[in-house]
Structure 1
Amino acid sequence: MRLRETVARNLRRLRQAKGLSQEELADRADINRNYVGMLEREQHAATIDMLEKLADVLETDPVEFFRRGA
């Protein structure tokens, strides 16, 4: 599995576990909702800074985005 796919799956899993829509996550992270969708569909690769921002909103450690088989 490619790292981008791993990040996408974990982002979706973590977002859904918090009960957030893509739009709600984007609003809380102050980013465009389309960008969240693009990350989850593997159409865009997030920067480290963006992963930190998303992890803060999701109240998790950024390393969670890289866990395989989660």
Structure 2
Amino acid sequence: MRLKDTNRSAIVSNKFKNYFPGMIDTEGPNKENLISNNHFRRELSPGGNPPVERPGRPLRRHPPPR
């Protein structure tokens, strides 16, 4: 999900499952956004391949899950 130039938006009660870093990206001026009561889950891709770096955005490294 990408927030671009948003003000007073709400992202509430969602389930996010992603294979790549950056489940919620912000771009430009974003003010007074509410992000609450969400479930974020990150897994390896179905093929077991590592995440791919997107052009212009470096890959963020996260520690492995426990």
TM-score tier (shorter): under 0.3
* Structure with a larger share of its residues in strand: 2
Structure ranking higher on relative contact order (CA contacts 8 Å, 6+ apart): 1
Which of the two has higher C-alpha Rg? 2
TM-score by length of 1: 0.24
